[in-house]
């Protein structure tokens, strides 16, 4: 059984209209039928999905070469009412009875293999493999655990200081999410944020993060420490119509000034929907919240947008900082971002500083606000407080001058 899903069909359907989309599906069906034997079955499962059922196939190799042929055929340009249209196809193949003994089971596995083909870059095919099932199951159980984690309050925030090299002081910190998993220990965002985004759980988790960050700011205030906290938000949260009201309600509830809150959104999330983001940013900024563009330099910013966006801070991505003291090109990029920041009147922060030479180079080119393991790893609140007490000018691992 072969599961076929077209690549880029939605773009054609949305761009050229449903009439052309229908013609395209007919043409694809025709091309598939042309290559099958009369005993084979092809069905459209809905949308842009087709299933081919073939009995009496000699070898997996035959199956693979048929898939190759179908992919090539489908990829040929089509002339549809004066438009030349091209789509691709991703295919997943599953065998009876090895991969499944019932139609539905077989179809699910062919579908799973199709997703693997899509993940492998589209316009290709994959055979179903047991490991795919394991991966999907792992994914599902992680998602269930993640769902529970919100309710069971297994999350915590660690804080990484942002240091001003001019005076060695830390005036703000970045809140970074950690998951205290009951069996697997402390998990970093890299292990669960993507899944949280995919499943929509990020909305609840993000709400918890904002609440906890505000609570922490207010707790520090009560104990005489004024620190601004930068919170990472995801694109999904920005798209949630109430985000501004929620944040405003939180700062009110915890009785903190919005000036003590900073919102970080990655450059790629900003550029994915600059209109919506601009509206939300300007409302947040009117409240007095600082706005930062994270991972800057990786997201293909349009300078036209950047100029008009209500933002305060650019955070230079770690990938440019990593070799800044060794690669002239990276140093040039950092200088360019600094110049850009200066002309747009934004402050520039470099993240991911791990060594003294990196810090020294950054300071020499005028990038004074830095963050990285060289100064401190992200720390639980109590340890951060200790760090803040112990660090003043001169002991940040930098020569003074």
Residues that bind ligand C2E (CB under 6 A): 160, 176-177, 188-190, 193, 202, 206, 209, 232-234, 264, 294-295, 351-354, 372-373, 378
Interface with Mg ion (CB under 5 A), residue total 4
Judged by beta carbon, residue 129 or residue 347, the one nearer ligand C2E is 347
The partner in contact with residue 354, picked from Mg ion, ligand C2E, none with C-beta cut-offs of 5 to 8 angstroms by kind, is ligand C2E
Binding to Mg ion by residue 7, rule CB under 5 A?
no
Task: Give the x/- contact pattern for Mg ion in 214-233, rule: CB under 5 A.
Answer: ------------------x-
State the minimum distance, in angstroms, from the CB of residue 354 to ligand C2E.
4
Q: Pick one of ligand C2E, Mg ion, none as the site partner of residue 397 (Cβ within 5 to 8 A by kind).
A: none
Nearer to Mg ion, 21 or 297 (CB): 297
Is 40 or 197 the residue whose CB approaches ligand C2E more closely? 197
Residues in 285-344 at the binding interface with Mg ion, rule: CB under 5 A: 294-295
Residue 176 contact among ligand C2E, Mg ion, none, beta carbon within 5 to 8 Å by kind: ligand C2E
Asked if the bond preceding 269 is cis, omega within 30° of 0, the reply is: no
Q: Which of residues 5, 145, 212, 264 is near Mg ion by CB under 5 A?
A: 264
Pairing type for strands 125-127 and 88-93 reads parallel
Q: Report, in Å, the least distance between residue 289 CB and ligand C2E.
A: 16
User: Residue for token digits 């000699």?
Assistant: 58
Q: Which residues pair with 158 in a beta bridge?
A: 176
Give, for 92, the enclosing helix (H) or strand (E): strand 88-93
Whole-number minimum distance, CB 250 to ligand C2E, in Å?
14
Q: How far is the CB of 232 from Mg ion (least distance, A)?
A: 4
71/202 with CB nearer ligand C2E:
202
* Residue number, 166 or 194, with CB nearest to ligand C2E: 194
H/E element holding 370? Answer: strand 369-371
Contact call for residues 117 and 126 (beta carbons, < 8 A): yes
State the nearest-atom distance from the C-beta of 384 to Mg ion, in Å: 16
Give the DSSP letter of residue 299: S
**Residue 291 partner contact from Mg ion, ligand C2E, none using kind-dependent CB cut-offs of 5 to 8 Å:** none
Could you tell me the two tokens for 397?
A: 């691992």
- State which of positions 230-249 bind Mg ion (CB under 5 A): 232
**Cα dihedral across residues 187, 189, 195, 201: positive or negative:** positive
CA neighbor of 322 nearest in space, from 297, 358, 363, 366: 358
**DSSP assignments along 349-374, one per residue:** EEE---SHHHHHHHHHTT--EEESTT
**Closer to ligand C2E by Cβ: residue 3 or 159:** 159
For residues 27-65, one letter each, b for 16 or more C-beta atoms within 10 angstroms of the residue's C-beta and e for the rest, the string is bbeebbeeeeeeebebeeeeebebbbbbeeeeeeeebee
Q: Choose between 92 and 161: whose C-beta lies nearer to ligand C2E.
A: 161
Cα–Cα distance for residue pair 315/327, rounded to 1 Å: 19
Q: 350, 282, 280: which is closest to 321 by C-alpha?
A: 350
Q: For 78, list phi and psi in degrees, rounded to 5.
A: -120, 140
Which partner, ligand C2E, Mg ion, none, binds residue 45 by CB below 5 to 8 Å per kind?
A: none
Beta bridge partners of 228: 172
Interface residues toward Mg ion, by CB under 5 A: 232, 264, 294-295
């Amino acid at each position: 059984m072969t599961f076929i899903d077209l690549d880029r069909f939605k773009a054609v359907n949305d761009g050229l209209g449903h009439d052309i989309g229908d013609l395209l599906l007919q043409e694809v069906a025709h091309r598939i039928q042309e290559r099958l034997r009369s005993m084979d079955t092809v069905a459209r499962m809905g949308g842009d999905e087709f299933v081919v059922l073939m009995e009496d196939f000699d070898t997996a190799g035959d199956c693979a070469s048929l898939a190759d042929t179908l992919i090539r055929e489908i990829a040929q340009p089509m002339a549809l009412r004066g438009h030349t249209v091209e789509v691709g196809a991703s295919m997943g193949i599953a065998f009876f009875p090895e991969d499944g003994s019932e139609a539905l089971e077989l179809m699910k596995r062919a579908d799973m293999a199709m997703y693997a083909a899509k993940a492998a870059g589209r316009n290709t095919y994959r055979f179903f493999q047991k490991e795919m099932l394991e991966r999907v199951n792992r994914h599902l159980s992680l998602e269930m655990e993640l769902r529970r984690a919100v309710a069971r309050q297994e999350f915590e925030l660690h804080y990484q200081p942002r240091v001003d090299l001019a005076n060695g002081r830390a005036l703000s910190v970045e809140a970074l999410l950690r998951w205290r998993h009951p069996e697997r220990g402390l998990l970093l965002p890299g292990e669960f944020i993507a899944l949280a985004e995919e499943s929509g759980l990020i909305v609840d988790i993000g709400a918890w993060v904002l609440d906890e960050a505000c609570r922490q700011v207010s707790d520090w205030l009560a104990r005489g420490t004024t620190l601004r906290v930068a919170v990472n938000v995801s694109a999904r949260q920005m798209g949630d119509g109430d985000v501004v009201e929620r944040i405003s309600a939180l700062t009110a509830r915890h009785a903190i000034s919005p000036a003590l809150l900073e919102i970080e959104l990655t450059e790629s999330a900003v550029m994915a929907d600059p209109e919506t983001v601009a509206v939300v940013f300007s409302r947040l900024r009117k409240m007095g919240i600082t706005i930062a563009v994270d991972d800057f330099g990786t997201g293909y910013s349009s300078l036209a947008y950047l100029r008009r966006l209500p933002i305060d801070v650019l955070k230079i991505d770690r990938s440019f900082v990593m070799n800044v003291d060794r690669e002239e090109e990276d140093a040039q990029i950092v200088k360019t971002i600094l110049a850009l920041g200066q002309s747009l009147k934004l402050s520039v922060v470099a993240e991911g500083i791990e060594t003294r030479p990196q810090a020294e180079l950054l300071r020499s080119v005028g990038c004074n606000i830095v963050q990285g393991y060289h100064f401190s790893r992200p720390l639980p609140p109590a340890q951060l407080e200790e760090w803040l007490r112990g660090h003043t000018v001169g002991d940040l691992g930098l020569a003074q001058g």
